[in-house]
Chains A and B, each alone.
Chain A
Amino acid sequence: MKSSKSLFVVAAFVLLALFPLMAGQYGVDLVTKIMVFAIFALSLELLVGSTGLVCFGQAAFFGIGAYATVLLTPQDGAPSLLWLLPACVLLAALYALVVGALSLRTKGVYFIMVTLAFAQMAYYVVHDTPLGGGTDGIYLTVKPVLGTLLDLDKPQAFYGFTLACLVGVFGFLTLLLRSRFGRALAGIRVNEQRMRATGFSTYPYKLAAFVISGGIAGLAGFLFAVKDGFVNPELISWHLSGEVLIMIILGGLGHLRGALIGAFAFALLQEFFKSEAIFGEFAKHWHLGLGLSIIACVALLPRGLVGVPGQLAARLSGRLTGARGAASQEVPHD
């Protein structure tokens, strides 16, 4: 079972690497965008699925990474990727440190509300001050370069770079979650009281997870800004925080590949319902179709899309009742 999971991930990454060879400009652009959201979703999965912290302000870190990219880019000449990328990640992580330090003093629904409030604060800062250029947003005039080695203005090169970032983040989180730190996060998710009684000061652990998550979201924001060459306050809005939450729930909480699958499923569903070729006039009501299909997914697939093979296997061997029982239990991390 374990090897089939890693086989799935490796196969997915190989397919993604081969994809530009067979796809057109539109396809490459779409998949680049989805991979950026997959990195974003992975950052939230670390908090929600692995640590049990439901953060509803993840877009703040994404948006700060994106805005930092634009604001730090000098007027004259392309900046080097080598300093711009770490700077954006650090700024997002720094904001996560502040938000985390304060919001982690609360629990449950209050935590959700406080993280939302901090994200809205960031939203209004870019929306209503000269710094962020208001509702219109700001254009990114020159894209960062890595010497002559890598020109991110070329779609193929940017695709490759984004894929490398996605693989890097996925690999990093995989190692992180099986390390002592990751196991402690899992313990906090399952039973924080016991963790404290055993001798773990849980607050620093949660704060570290929060900062790492913010940094990864900042990386996604950086990629998004460079890809579109444009940022606006929508990148920090609570809609985006909600969307990324839906992605990881759709994919299946408690699994890194769930975030990956969720990001793809969400974006493809969106594309599908937006398609005028299929829905004609109705395509402009795509929110309705997307919403209904998400409700259907959550109702029918309580463990998310990652749970589908297991559910099918259970149905085939006629143990559907067993699967329902197992679905209500907590899903272990792998």
Chain B
Amino acid sequence: MTNASDVLLSGSEITRRWGGLVALNKVSLELQRGTVHAVIGTNGAGKSTLINILSGEIPPSSGQVELLGQDVTNWSQPRRARAGLGRSYQRNTIYPSFTVLENCRLAAQATVQKPWAWWSDAQQCTASMAQARASATRAGLDDLLDREAGLLSHGQKRQLEIAMCLATQPQVLLLDEPLAGMGAEETERMLTLLAELKSSHAILLVEHDMDAVFRIADCITVMVNGTVIACGTPDLVRNSPEVRVAYLGEH
């Protein structure tokens, strides 16, 4: 199953200190195409910090990040994004005053930026428009294309987060709690979507919904206070005594 060429993103020995606090302590992980790799842990375990470092939003204190076989530790976040790394945010990070379609189109535009073409209408940009429509359809937002994004329901905004992420045509997806605050039906739809996306992407999933995580993840990393205490298949993690003590709350 492990094939080196299929590792799309890897972090090795990533450490992040905030003053005296060690938010991440030598965390290593690998994301392979065709798998969902879940990261679970209590609040403050360092999950979001890990996503922020992998996506390039903040630099690590030490450690290395590799994307598609290249060392990207010193790359800026936009450069990593253009190289195929997409992320969604825990709190909705959309453009509330734009329509759903324009949210997706602007994200897609990142792959065809052409900023010098000041005379040509962005709405006529066929490449970004096609990608935008395709990703909105994929995330199930077909009927809402002309709706102002700020007026969407919470669950629809989470779908839009994913659609915007897909519009940039990434190979790696870093999803920060995509199921947070979603109803049962919306959760089902999102899990179906993730299962579809899995075949062509490497997905990192940070999530609190344990039922969902154990259903969809191929590999789970458990973090406590910035340190990885277990990593492996769902079965392995479920039966690990350390995890039970530290996280699942069973003694």
Contact = CB atoms under 8 A, between A and B. Distances in A.
B78 A199 contact: yes
Contacts of A331: 97
Contacts of B111: 199
A131 interface: no
B120 interface: yes
A204 B164 CA distance: 22
B76 interface: yes
Contacts of A167: none
The listed residue with most B CB atoms (<10 A of its CB), out of A181, A199, A204, is A199
Given A197-B87, A331-B97, A332-B97, A184 B78 contact: no
A320 to B, nearest CB: 20
A172 B118 CA distance: 9
Given A184-B106, A187-B95, A198-B81, A179 B118 contact: yes
Of listed A172, A175, A178, residue having the most chain B CB within 10 A: A178
A194 interface: yes
A280 to B, nearest CB: 47
B15 interface: no
Given A197-B57, A198-B81, A201-B78, A180 B98 contact: no
B168 A190 contact: no
Interface string A170-197: 0010011011111110110011011011
B96 A190 contact: yes
Nearest to B150: A329
A180 B150 contact: no
**Most B CB atoms within 10 A — which of A190, A194, A201?**
A194
Given A175-B119, A199-B82, A329 B109 contact: no
Interface of A is mostly: helix
B221 interface: no
Interface residues of B, number: 40
A208 interface: yes
A190 B95 contact: yes
Nearest to B99: A332
A194 B106 CA distance: 10
A178 to B, nearest CB: 5
B116 A193 contact: no
A170 B125 CA distance: 23
Interface string B64-101: 00000000000011110110000101000111111000
A208 to B, nearest CB: 7
Given A190-B97, A193-B93, A179 B117 contact: yes
B113 interface: yes
Contacts of B122: 178-180, 182-183
Contacts of B114: 180
B36 interface: no
B81 A197 contact: yes
Contacts of A202: 78
A205 interface: yes
Contact of B121 (A179, A186, A200): A179
Nearest to B174: A197
B118 A197 contact: no
A7 B164 CA distance: 35
A264 to B, nearest CB: 27
A330 interface: yes
A180 B96 contact: no
Contacts of A175: 118-119
B110 interface: yes
5 contacts: A180-B115, A183-B109, A197-B57, A199-B110, A199-B168
Given A181-B115, A199-B110, A329-B96, 4 more contacts: A176-B118, A180-B114, A183-B106, A194-B89
Interface of A: 172, 175-176, 178-184, 186-187, 190-191, 193-194, 196-202, 204-205, 208, 329-332
